[in-house]
Structure formats: C-alpha cells, structure tokens
A = this chain, B = another copy of it.
C-alpha cells in the first residue's frame, strides 16, 4: 500500500485552501506542535474559513469543554458511533484518541470493534447503549431510554452531552463517507505498545 501524503484528503476537488484567519493559523500551528500534523478533517474543511471555524468551535466545545462525561468517555462515544457507521476516518483518528486517553491500546480496539465486548462500568455501558441506539434507530428513542441513563447515574445535563456527541459523530461520519476522507497516517501508529494500564 504505497502512498504519498498528498494535499488531497478527500475524493472531492474543493479548490485550494482558503486564506486562514490569524486565529485559524494559530490553531493549525498548535496542531503541528502538539500532534505533529494538522488533522486531515481540518485540512478538508480549509477550503472555506467560515466552515472550518464553525467546525472547530463545535467539536472543541463538545470534546473538550466541561462536562459530566470525561474526555475519554466522549471519545468512546465517537468511536462506538463510528463503528456502527464503519467510518474509516473517525475510527482511525478517534480510535487513537481512545487508546491515548485510556492509556490502553486494547480498549481502543475493543470500542472500535464492538463495545459490548469491552470491560466497561455499568454507567459507561448504558452511555454507549444509548449512543448506539440513537445512531441506529433514532426514531425509536423513548422516555424509557432516557430513564435508563438516569438509572445508571447520568444527570439530565449529561444526557444532553451524550446525545450531542453521538449526534456530532453521526454528522462527521457521513461527511467523511460522502467525501472519502482519509485520515492522517500517523494515527495508525500512535499508542500501539502495551502500557501500564493494559499490562
């Protein structure tokens, strides 16, 4: 599978990168500094600075702002949803994130394959059950589904966040599928050695 890192990260010809605002330029610089690269999803959106900024604002709020869900739990939702939707981009990028945040390469694999096989707490299992039902059968969500989350220990405010993260990756998965978006190859190789947690 020889390949070169080209400028084209999707199957669409979207024209060249827009002139980035200083705020976006600084964001890209920080990505390069912290990750070593700019995630391809941002490069894909970069043909239009307004769309790129709106995407960053939403994803950073969802995944990094204060929440009753840990950052790992939010990444677990991203990966469980992407597993249902078989999204190559998100499974690669967020699979790496679960491996990293869990400090456990096996957990990342498990959620990407089938969260039902993962050793989760009852509270986390309920969270992913809800996220996956919401992904597969949104029309069939009823009050009893919300109540199951409350019974497992989640607050109403957390239920919003579970829904918002699950909803977001149902969007991202589809944009990636529609455009054949390719993840940065570096993700495949991150956090692949046994760690203290997985030992």
Contacts and interface: CB of A to CB of B under 8 A. Distances in A.
Interface residues of A, number: 78
A160 B180 contact: no
Interface in A87-117: 87-88, 91-92, 102, 104-107, 109-110, 112-114, 116-117
A113 B138 contact: no
A148 to B, nearest CB: 12
| Majority secondary structure of chain A interface residues (helix, strand, loop or mixed) | helix
Contacts of A2: 197, 199
Copies in the complex: 6
Given A83-B86, A105-B189, A14 B139 contact: no
Contacts of A138: 85-87, 173-174, 177-178
A54 B158 CA distance: 18
Contacts of A143: 11, 180
Given A13-B156, A197-B1, A139 B55 contact: no
Contacts of A166: 174, 178
Given A86-B138, A160-B179, A189-B192, 18 more contacts: A1-B102, A1-B106, A1-B107, A1-B119, A47-B160, A51-B164, A85-B139, A87-B139, A92-B113, A116-B140, A117-B182, A134-B174, A162-B178, A163-B178, A166-B178, A167-B173, A167-B175, A189-B194
Interface of A: 1-3, 11-15, 47, 50-51, 53-55, 57-58, 61, 65, 83, 85-88, 91-92, 102, 104-107, 109-110, 112-114, 116-117, 119, 130, 134-135, 138-143, 146, 156-157, 159-160, 162-164, 166-168, 170-175, 177-180, 182, 185, 188-189, 192-194, 197-199
